[in-house]
Structure 1
Amino acid sequence: MSSHTTPLVESDLDLAERILAPDGTRVPNPQLDPYVADVDAAQLRALYRDMIVLRRVDSEGVALQRQGQLGLWAPCQGQEAAQIGTARALAPQDFVFPSYREHGVLLARGAQPGDYVRMWRGEEGAAFDPAALNVAPLQIIIGAQTLHAVGYALGIQHDGTDEVAITYFGDGATSQGDVNEAMVFASSYRVPVVFVCQNNHWAISEPVGLQSQFPLAGRAPGFGIPSMRVDGNDVLACMAAMRWALEHARSGKGPAYIETVTYRMGPHTTADDPKRYRDDAELESWRRRDPIARVEAYLRANGGLDDEQAAEAQADADALARDMRAACLGMVTRPALAVFDGVYAEPHTGLQRERDEYAAYLATFEGA
């Protein structure tokens, strides 16, 4: 247990805007309600289905990594509402700049089964076609994607098109210079960009309370950017907040900022052991706020979901997981020496020497 761990403060979460309480009851919210007034039972059931599918994709990614099929996986269990709620509010022409944990954003943007695993398996090319999904390649460098999003938004502004750039990052990234510099530029040029901070409470082993004693959404107004802090385990609140932010950015008023207060239930990545820095009591307190259970409780209480529909959602999830596994296992890895192909238009002795040295190194593994 880290000495820096801060206890869960109930009132801190209560400061976040919400529409659905943890027990699934509807909470009147004059600020957010108008943005989801059109969401009927069928639409909410579709969001529930997406969250079920996402959790299954995430568990399959973990399993594939544990079985040696992926080099790494960044789990997102617990963050389903924050990702699905915000991503499903986007227009087709909007362009997303994610970090490395936004599997739900890929799902909402139409990713194919192999798109979830290609990069984590270390195969040739990007994880997916950015032009097909309107999603930039996954970004491993913490916070760098915020600068890319602002640059893209400057292009939108110059082109005069009806688009918005959206960038996702975690609470840990808010301490990076890139994120703060991105907000400076975004505010100065009033570009159409939305910053989405998924505050999952842990930047690897560092608790958010060590980084900031105040809500992260409070930083944006210091740059002249309006912000909203929402319950990140409430899919309706997340959708409403994103619709508010998109409306603001698309109307020429400049950037907007959302902090979704959620929790990372699993490890930072499959290379991490969260038991070394957080206790079970904190984890269990957040299990009671499970985003999927919350929306399911609301739907069932209001006749919007029955056992058959819930089973259909799970079947969809299992089908995608099977396709994802099949795509992963069916990928053909390039020969290691192919890394030298196409580096230069014409071969030269320096490259050949490096290739020979690498070939000799690879030969040491033969028969091992």
Structure 2
Amino acid sequence: MKSRLDRYEEFIEKEYRAGLTKPDEYSLDDVTPDLRKRLSEGRFKRIVFTGMGCSAIVSDIVRGYFTEIGLPLEVHVVNDYDFRFLAAPSVLEDEATLYIISSYSGHSQEPVLAYQRLRAVRDQVLLLTSGGKLAELGRADGASIAYWRLREPDREYPLFHVSQYFAILMDMFHEFGVLSDDHHARLGELAGLLEADFEENGREAARRIADASEDANIIMIASPKWHESLLKLAKMHFNEMAMVPTARNYFHEFCHSEVATLSDPVRKHSTVWFSDADDDEYTLAKGENLQRLLTDDRPENRNIRFSRVHLSEGDFLRKYFTALNVVQHAALRLGRHHETRSRDLISESAGNPWYHSTTIESELTA
């Protein structure tokens, strides 16, 4: 099996944009007619996504996008199975709530526990998986299951395929009657724009962020629009691919609290501000003031670097996938700088050997 970073580089160059044009690699054969009917009739007024890691990350993008276009369907994202403390009873106890339990492998224990807690209302549940224990339980109960059917998945790092996951979900929601547009034309056009956008401004931005972040802790800040949808996934790329300590926070909250840690840091810190041309004037002015404070020529700033990624072109989707492309290239460059070898800590700490490199290698050998 090729190294993590070699596969990552190949994915960025060949598959990232192409994933937006592959919306058909899934199956709805095991979704019950009853659930299809209720979806098409608009009887669900909200969706609660639950899952761990990259299996749930695309739901944050969906939430941000649906909010941006004003779709009259609430989207909640819960990254755990103890729903009581993460969503209101009015959400959890409503027959108009659809639960989508997402686990790419189907072997992660948390989504399985989530399903077990929701078995009593499994007619309001859609399992989203490629198989595993989650699918096995769902089939035994007659629950609705939508299957990922990616033809060339990277088994160890599903985060590679977020662009394709999004394209699939747009097509899936269209099939369910939730969306009037299947997004094929829109995402196909976007795939063509991303390369030009990156060459025009993105490549230099990625280089600046990576160079500023060498041997540093990364702190990413943005408005609520991007905090969940973009920064959560960006953090995963820096954590999992570059293996660099990375945190994220809401821009205004950072200015009221965490900025104090940059008073005179001993260790190098790299602050990355994702600004949006649609941010209000107060936010933009406050960000420029923060940039001035952290880049002034003074001794206390000797271990601080500040980078700005300004999202200015196009709509939500173009801004999102352009910014993510910058993050990926920065993470790759940082990963090459550090050359840290994976200890399979995600697989081992999560208790899911399905993702473990030795499991994958033994299956490839067999």
TM over 0.5: no
TM-score by length of 2: 0.29
User: Normalising to structure 1: TM-score of the pair?
Assistant: 0.28
Higher RCO structure, 1 or 2 (CA under 8 Å, sep 6+)? 1
The answer to which structure has the higher helix fraction is 2
